[in-house]
Amino acid sequence: MKRILSSITDGRGFDVGLVSLPLAFLFVLSGLPLVYNVVMSFQEVDMFSLGSFSRPFVGFKNYIDLFGQPETWPILLNTAIFVTASIAGQFLIGFGLALFFWVSFPGASWLRGLFLVSWVMPGLVVGAIWNWILSGDFGVLNFLLRETGVISGNIFWRSDPSYSLWAVIIANIWLGTSFNMILLSVGLSGIPKDLYEAAELDGANAFQRFWTITLPMMRSTIGAIVALGLIFTLQQFDLFAAITSGGPNNTSNVTQYWAWDLSFRQYDFAKGATISVIMIVFVMFASVVYVRSTRHEVRG
Partner 1 sequence: MSDTFRNRLMLAVALVLAAIYLFPLYWMYITALKTGSAMFATPPKFWPSEPQWSIYAHVWESRNMGRYLWNSLVIAFGSVALIAVLGVGCAYVLARYRNVWVDIGLFLILMLQVLPASLMVTPIFVGFSQVGLLDTPRLAVILAIAAKSMPFFVVLVRATFMSVPMELEEAALVDGNSRIGAFFNIVLPLARNGILVSAILIFMQAFGEFVYSKSMIQAVELQPASVGLNTFMGPNTNEWNNIMAYATIYVTPILAAFILLQRRIVSGLTSGALK
Partner 2 sequence: MTLQIELNGVNKFYGSYHALKNIDLAIEEGTFVALVGPSGCGKSTLLRSLAGLEKISAGEMKIAGARMNDVPPRKRDVAMVFQSYALYPHMTVEENLTYSLRIRGVKKAEALRAAAEVATTTGLSHLMKRYPRELSGGQRQRVAMSRAIIRHPKAFLFDEPLSNLDAALRVHMRKEIRALHDRLGATSVYVTHDQIEAMTMADHVVVMRDGIIEQQGRPLDLYDRPANRFVAGFIGSPAMNFIPAVVEQDGRHLALDLGATQARLALVETVPAGASVTVGIRPEHIRIVGAGQGALDIPVGVVESTGSATYITSATQPELMVVETGRSAAVGGELIGLAIDPAQLHLFDAETGNRLGIGRAHESEKFAPRAAPHPAAATFSPS
Footprint of partner 1 on 66-85 (CB under 8 A): none
> Which residues lie across from 57 on neighbouring strands?
43
Q: CA–CA separation, 88 vs 280, rounded Å?
A: 22
Distances (CA, A) of 99 to 93, 108, 184, 193, 206: 10, 12, 8, 14, 12
Q: CA–CA separation, 210 vs 98, rounded Å?
A: 13
Half-sphere exposure of 245 (CA within 13 A, CB side): 7
Piece in contact with partner 1 (CB under 8 A), picked from 62-70, 75-83, 84-92, 101-109: 101-109
Q: Is 113 in the site for partner 2 (CB under 8 A)?
A: no
Q: Is 10 in the site for partner 2 (CB under 8 A)?
A: yes
73 binds, among partner 1, partner 2, none (CB under 5 to 8 A by kind): none
The one among 1, 2, 4, 9 contacting partner 2 by CB under 8 A: 9
84 binds, among partner 2, partner 1, none (CB under 5 to 8 A by kind): none
- DSSP string over 167-181: HHHHHHHHHHHHHHH
Contact between 13 and 4 (Cβ < 8 Å): yes
Q: CA–CA separation, 29 vs 277, rounded Å?
A: 16
Q: CA–CA separation, 158 vs 135, rounded Å?
A: 7
68 binds, among partner 1, partner 2, none (CB under 5 to 8 A by kind): none
191 binds, among partner 2, partner 1, none (CB under 5 to 8 A by kind): none
* Stretch 110-169 residues interacting with partner 1 (CB under 8 A): 110-111, 113-118, 120-126, 128-133, 135, 137-138, 140, 143, 147
The one among 26, 92, 151, 198 contacting partner 1 by CB under 8 A: 26
Longest Cα separation, the chain: 82
Residue with Cβ nearer partner 2 (11 or 113): 11
Residue with Cβ nearer partner 1 (54 or 203): 54
**Nearest approach, Cβ of 129 to partner 1 (angstroms)?**
5
* Residue 179 amino acid letter: F
